[in-house]
Structure 1
Amino acid sequence: MTDILIKSFNRPFYLDRCLFSIFKFVEGDFKISVLDDGTPKQYLDKIRGKYPEIDIILSKNYAQKTSAITENLKNKTEINGFQIPVDLWIEAAKNASDYFIITEDDVWFTEKININDLVSEMKKSDINLLKLGWLGNFKDDQHLDISEINNKIDRIIPHKLFLKGQKTMEAFFLNKYKFYSFLYKLKIVNNETPQKYWALNSILMGLYSKKYWLKIWKNMAGKVDEKQQLINASVYFKKNKNNLNFIARLKKESMKTTFQSSATNSYHNYGYNFDVNLFNYLINEAWFTDKFDSFQNFPNDFSLDYFESFFNDKIDILEFKKWVSHFKEQYKNLGVDVG
């Protein structure tokens, strides 16, 4: 039995799509756990009714987060999107199967996979991370050596990574003692160098060995620290550098995500007159009353005009489009296929 862990917060219309896609496209023996940080109870109850097979585990701040959503709708008090339930995720991972998928509510499957076969191959080939999707980003392939493990999986080996011990990698990523700046002057690194290390990690679409995921998330101190993740991944990868199958990916991507929605404004506040929290409320309520179809335009993301049909003059459509365009552009610049 392989665990599938889904991080979730206040977008049941996407969570519904995510769960639907798992039951449609994932074959084999698996157990789904939703790790929820504040989706209002009535929405979670509806999810439970539609998918009685799943478990929903609430964060320790669940009540506080649901109250924050209510307060936001009443008084526009900002929801603290930086208060993240890292402890919940780590505890769930510790209790998960030796190999597990970890994803988020706004990610969905688009191609069939057999989870039993994939885990069997990971054990056989000593794969620590199998990427099920990579956001259509083939730009980074120039930094990878890619070769076949079997007819469904390729090994991916990042080349020319600077790899040392823990303290040196901390100095490297955090530029302690101006170490990164020194390497930059020597032309050993450049502005694109940090991006290469993301070959060792997958935020949204990874089938992981538990040991490796827990190594990556060591010393998080209750927050999502991406530099610390890359430090941890680099150190562990160096220790396993003789394993040519350490990182792999499917030959064909099997997952997608959205680039036109956010759980809060914390990371995507671009200065436009667009209220992400109000947007989520309007779509959540439409979904709750069966007016919003979670599978509209599936397997692609929802059409913008479909979202707009539920705004009821409460959201400025032009400002919404500006926000989406900005959201997409920042990922497009990284080589991501934003659709």
Structure 2
Amino acid sequence: MQNETLSALETAVAHHRAGRFAEAEAIYDQVLAAEPRNPDALHLMGLILERRGELERAATLIGQSVAANPGFANAQESLLRVLRAAGRAGEAVAPAEALTRLRPDSLADLAQFGDLLLETGQAERAAAAFRGALARSPGDPALPFKLGEALLALADLPGALEQFRTAVIRQPSFAAAFERFDMVRRELETAAALQATLTRNREGAGLRGDRRLCTIYIKGYSRPFYIDRLIRSIGRCIRNHGPIVLLNDGIGEVYTDKLKRDHPHLEIRNSPKVESGVIAAPAGGLYHERKAFYRSLDFFDPARFWVREIRRDPNDYVMYLDEDLWFFREIDLEGMVENLRANGALGALLLYQKANLRAARQQRDPTVHQEPVGCGAVMDYYAARIDSLDYAEGYRINPGTITLKDYWVNAYEDCLHFADEMHQNRKTLQLFTALAARMPDLRMGILDGGAMKHSSSSTARPDAGGKILANRIAPDVFHDLLSRHWLEGRLDTMADFPDDFSIERLVGLMRGHIPEEQIAAWVEWQRDFVRMYHWLD
């Protein structure tokens, strides 16, 4: 039977190599019917399926081949390739690691293993793999670059800088390595400058000098009715604030004119995109497609606009807010900023957090001390730590914060797209870690109980793959409808304050403009949306 199987497989392989895939598949089927665990037939049949694009079935069969014969290097290599093509990079780590054992002299296998570990967020293991590869090939410029990327993911900026420098020395034309070297060098310089600012603030707390009251920046896109609510809440709740500046990246002139009439003190700065009349990328679609759209237009990405405007601010601390936030309690903004200066804090999160979220944060990062910051408010100061790139809640530039200006600029500078949170998280993680190495007593603040709330009214949310899922009502339609109601006096933006607009109120505004079946579907979805994000009690 074994000789018959071998002969059949030789015939099938000949068909396979000659491109007669149907004939080869028929013989593989016959062999597997007789020997379901035959590793060669499983592997070769998996290759037929891979060629047809049936990646999941291919992965299953090749995985069975590997299970039957773990030392089958070609099958391990095929499984790695198919799993990656199927978007299952996490599962591809096992065959990649197996190849490093089966072919211990292969530098390519070891480097590939490191690449996959880095891709799946296992930066520490990736760094170890790249170090092993470097020990075998110390002159290869690609390997220090890869190790530098792993160290960057671990927020080891000095180590990453040295590896990128090595890559550039070994290959002066290595543009990517030079760009990384320059980026890390600038981040280390920023860390040194921030350290000097924090130290100076602690030593000179209470001495205002030429400083002005803290500016409040509002990022505007498409919801002028929420901006009106935010500005009114500032007037109601905030003492001692500086200018209120709307960084407008998409709100039409008819709406900005009303905002200016209703709030004469508001300063409006339009982005180049608005000034030129170019509209934003349409809502929806794949995230990477929207990011590519903005990158292709270069200066039309709002992140560049924000960085340019906020960098000009004369103060060390700034407050920047998304358009759909608002204050619900009284705070003394300048008193709070002075307290941050005195404590050498990078910034403070002001967004409301429910009791269970506050308790989880306290368990993770215990409060070092508390201080009153005026108007009955108390700031929790804690010595924050960062465990991984994903853990960036208090350290990325959150849309409800006061923060050091240069810390904010660092997060958005060189951003490929204004909503690229992974970029922001990575840069704030790196900078925070570099600062913490210099300043063991580095502090972050969270206002106990918060002072701001966030909108929960939406018609779309992203899924895990970055695609916007609309609930039958396009976000643009929803926002335009509420904006028109506000413009024409039918929407009081302080209705239901300090909570968001009630579902019943929004339904009343939609009736007569949106089909009833769409409204009913939205109501069901909206209630689930609010529960999912815990934005309301």
TM-score range, shorter chain: 0.7 to 0.9
Cα RMSD, aligned residues only: 2.9
| Percentage identity across paired residues of the two chains | 20
What SS class does the counterpart of residue 469 from structure 2 fall into? Answer: coil
**Counterpart-to-counterpart distance in 1, 2:236 and 2:303:** 29
Q: How far off is 1:103 after superposition?
A: 0.5
Residue 292 of structure 1, CA deviation: 0.7
Unaligned runs of 5+ in 1: 163-172, 174-193
Partner of 1:86: 303
2:509 counterpart SS class: coil
TM-superposed deviation, 1:265? 8.4
Measure, in 2, the Cα distance between the counterparts of 1:318 and 1:249: 38
Structure 2 length-normalised TM: 0.51
Pick the structure with more strand per residue.
1
TM-aligned CA distance change 1:111 to 1:66, over 3 Å: farther
1:50 is matched with which residue: 262, 265, 271? 262
SS at match of 1:30: coil
Partner Cα separation in structure 1 for residue 256 and residue 263 of structure 2: 10
Identify if the C-alpha distance between structure 1 residues 56 and 288 changes in structure 2 by more than 3 Å, giving closer, same or farther: same
Task: State the alpha-carbon separation in 1 of the partners of residues 477 and 290 from structure 2.
Answer: 15
1:87–1:30 Cα change, 3 Å: same
* Residue 229 (str. 1) matches residue 427 (str. 2): no
Alignment match, 2:474: 275
Higher helix share: 2
Supply the AA of the counterpart residue of 1:317: I
Q: Which residue of 1 aligns with 2:387?
A: 161
Specify which of 199, 203, 212 is matched with residue 394 of structure 2: 199
What displacement does 1:229 show?
Answer: 1.7
Secondary structure at the aligned position of 2:433 is classed as: helix
After superposition, residues 69-218 of structure 1 pair within 5 angstroms as: 83=294, 84-96=301-313, 97-136=315-354, 137-138=357-358, 139-151=360-372, 152-159=378-385, 161=387, 173=389, 194=390, 196-218=391-413
In 2, Cα distance between equivalents of 1:26 and 1:197:
28
**8 A Cα contact 1:270 1:323, kept in partner:** no
Q: CA deviation at 1:219?
A: 2.8
Correspondences of 1:186-335 after superposition (within 5 Å) = 194=390, 196-241=391-436, 242-261=439-458, 269-315=468-514, 316-332=518-534
1:166 corresponds to which residue?
A: none
Alignment length (residue pairs): 299
Relative contact order, higher structure (CA 8 A, sep 6+): 1
Cα gap change, 1:326/1:37 in structure 2, threshold over 3 Å: closer, same or farther?
farther
User: Displacement of 1:161 after TM fit?
Assistant: 2.2
Does the CA-based 8 Å contact 1:264-1:277 persist in structure 2? no
Go from structure 1 to structure 2 and tell me whether the alpha carbon gap of 1:291 and 1:66 turns closer, same or farther (over 3 Å shift): farther
More displaced 10-residue stretch of structure 1: 297-306 or 60-69: 60-69
Change (3 A) 1:94 1:160: closer
Q: Aligned pair in 2 of structure 1 residues 13, 223: CA closer, same or farther (>3 Å)?
A: closer
Amino acid at match of 1:89: W
Displacement of 1:282 after TM fit?
Answer: 1.4
* Structure-2 separation of matches of 1:63 and 1:310: 31
Whether the 8 Å contact between 2:321 and 2:401 is mirrored in structure 1 is yes
Work out whether residues 36 and 58 of structure 1, in 8 Å CA contact, stay in contact via their aligned partners in 2.
yes
One-letter amino acid matched to 2:367: I
Q: How does 1:11-90 map to 2 (within 5 A)?
A: 11-62=223-274, 83=294, 84-90=301-307
Deviation at 1:328, TM superposition (A): 3.0
Equivalent pair of 2:459/2:475 in contact (CA under 8 Å): yes
1:133/1:254 contact within 8 Å kept: yes
CA distance in 1, matches of 2:443, 2:533: 26
